[in-house]
Amino acid sequence: MSELTVVPARPSFRGVVIVLDVAAKVMLLLLLMTALRYPELGHLEGKGATARAVGYPLAAFIIPAAWFLVWRRRVTFPWLVDLLVTLTCFTDTLGNRMDLYDTVRRFDDVMHFVNTGVLTAAFILLTLPRRATRAQVFERSLAFGVTAALVWEIAEYYAFLSTSGFVDRYADTLGDLALGSLGSVAAGQLVYWAWKHHHLLTEGPQPLPDYPGANERPPTSRQPGL
């Protein structure tokens, strides 16, 4: 009798996303607590440490809260969307912890491009059906991306630039807005490309099987509660 060969099961994409999502949330909270307790280690002195400590956890848990309160009886939990939102908070906090904003000249520019794009990808996965056209994806990417970039610049100014000595260093609002807009368009087109190549087809919120009409049509941005 030949011996049976046991092949370890490969982790599913969804499983990897869940692990990364939970890990990113835990690390984000630890980094923020460290920055509040030891400001010199977090490199957030004069950079709105309190605003970040309040705003980032709220942003990182807004998808779970909205799903639990509004969507949980209608759609599945959008793990990838939640991970993408959490990553924008985590990478910014980690970048400050490693002092990259002050030691790497273009790191701030990269973060504006990448993080706005990541948030835009999450928004598209959350609100657009996979059958959306390239023009629809472009329109929503630009609308969300420009708005998100503008909101960030306003929040950044009132959180710490208006009261700190970093105004001159960060007086590049137009450049940041342009980078955020470009990042959002690039992310939108990347999601569109993934859909057309049959990737990320179920990474947005999917109607639960027992939800009325779930088997009649694919989810769209007009799902009740979304």
Query: 126-185, pLDDT tens digit by residue?
Result: 999 999 999 999 999 999 999 999 998 888 777 665 555 555 555 577 888 999 999 999
- Token pair of 3, please? 């011996």
Average pLDDT of the segment spanning 64-85: 94
* DSSP class per residue in 25-74: HHHHHHHHHHHHH-HHHHT-TTTTHHHHHHHHHHHHTHHHHHIIIIITTT
The 3-state DSSP class for residue 75 equals strand
- pLDDT given for residue 160 in this prediction: 61
User: Which of 100, 83, 66, 64 has the alpha carbon at shortest distance from 16?
Assistant: 83
pTM over 0.85: no
Higher pLDDT, 70 or 217: 70
Backbone angles phi, psi at 207, to 5 degrees: -60, 135
- Report the mean per-residue pLDDT for the chain: 83
- pLDDT given for residue 217 in this prediction: 42
- pLDDT given for residue 209 in this prediction: 79
Mean pLDDT is lowest, of 15-24, 56-65, 160-169, for 160-169
- pLDDT given for residue 202 in this prediction: 85
Given a contact cutoff of 8 angstroms between Cβ atoms, the answer to whether 51 and 185 are in contact is no
Query: 46-57, pLDDT tens digit by residue?
Result: 667 788 888 999
- pLDDT given for residue 173 in this prediction: 78
- pLDDT given for residue 223 in this prediction: 45
Residue 77 has pLDDT above 90, yes or no: yes
- pLDDT given for residue 94 in this prediction: 93
- Domain boundaries, given as residue ranges, for the chain: 13-196
- pLDDT given for residue 28 in this prediction: 96
Q: How far from 170 is each of 35, 46, 56, 63, 157, CA to CA, in Å?
A: 21, 13, 21, 30, 9
